[in-house]
Amino acid sequence: MEHERKRLMVDAFIAGLPKAELHVHHVGSASPRVVAGLAARHEGTTGVPADPELLAEYFTFRDFAHFIEVYLSVVDLIRDAEDVRALTFGVAEDMARQNIRYAELTVTPYSSVRRGIPDVAFMEAIEDARKSAEAELGVVLRWCFDIPGEAGLESAEETARLALEVGADGLVSFGLGGPEIGVPRPQFKPYFDRARAAGLHSVPHAGETTGPQTVWDAVRELGAERIGHGTQAVRDPRLVDFLGEHRIPLEVCPTSNIATRAVERMEEHPIRQMVEAGLLVTVNSDDPPMFGTDLNTEYGVAARLLGLDEAGVAALAKNAVEASFMGAADRARLTAEIDAHLAGWRG
């Protein structure tokens, strides 16, 4: 009974905690309400259910390959700038309800532009939503443009063009997503070199469904400043030492790792090993509605796996602020909000 009371108290603390999120996908954050609305708008041309209650079954994945298949079917619902704007602002609304103050949203513009949305219209739509989210909701959004690895070097070239020639005011980083198996990281080095030379930060996915070598490749070849997932990094003590020494953060997404079968059981998740090794761990939701989660839930999962009280959860939230690409003044402001929330809770 006492254990359950403490768990509920921690969950209540998390609900009011000001937070930053660093690993969350644009299309993958579309709530059942938003997805159902888009499916209804394009009814007759999609296999995605227009009933929010049927989406839970639709979002049940057999494996990572099936997840990609379902994910791309939702991408196919984003067909014009109005869809892009509605999706983006809808995501920000869901973030505001969780007290997320700042998020670096991973956007895959290649997938929408190749489906016929003009590149400038796409950028204008996400920027309009970003400005409205900050003004109306108090949610600061920044963009990571990522290469969909399964689409090959053509997508890398186009993503680099969209990032560096078309661009968006909120763009801060350059990433690499999609499957890791059969998609070697080193082939993307020229594109990351160009992005980094233009001042963008490097944040590729690595070590999610493949071994530690993928993380080494991300660091050595792509100049990774943060690692998306990094779940398998703990299998290599030298890599753990390197990540710790260079203070390279890991963007950990516990429920996602179970949903995609990257980790078999939550009790086996390596987040505790990461923390005990002194790594800079951040907690994230990845594709929250698709995995039946949100950032508050992920903090609750992490708190239970790590045995954290409210002070420990607040420290975890400050990790995300430290690992973010926000400016120093904004970082100090959000850190102060987290400290104030903890002090008020204790009081």
Residue in 305, 318, 252, 311 with CA at minimum distance from that of residue 281: 252
Q: Directed axis angle between helix 152-161 and helix 189-197, to 10°?
A: 10
Q: Rounded distance, CA 154 to CA 66, Å?
A: 23
**Contact present, 251 and 229 (Cβ < 8 Å):** yes
Residue 5, classified by CB atoms within 10 Å of its CB into exposed (0-12), middle (13-18) or buried (19+), is exposed
The one-letter amino acid code at 289 reads: P
- Phi, psi (deg, nearest 5) at residue 283: -110, 135
User: CA-CA distances (angstroms) from residue 339 to 22, 39, 299?
Assistant: 20, 42, 17
Query: What is each CA distance from 19 to 282, 294, 309, 335, in whole angstroms?
Result: 11, 12, 16, 9
Residues 330 and 18: their CA atoms lie apart, in Å, by: 13
Residue 162 amino acid letter: L
Contact predicate 177/228, CB 8 Å: yes
Residues in the chain: 347
Task: Please list the active-site residues.
Answer: 208
| 82, 41 contact by CB (below 8 A) | no
User: Which candidate, 98, 130, 134, places its Cα nearest to that of 18?
Assistant: 98
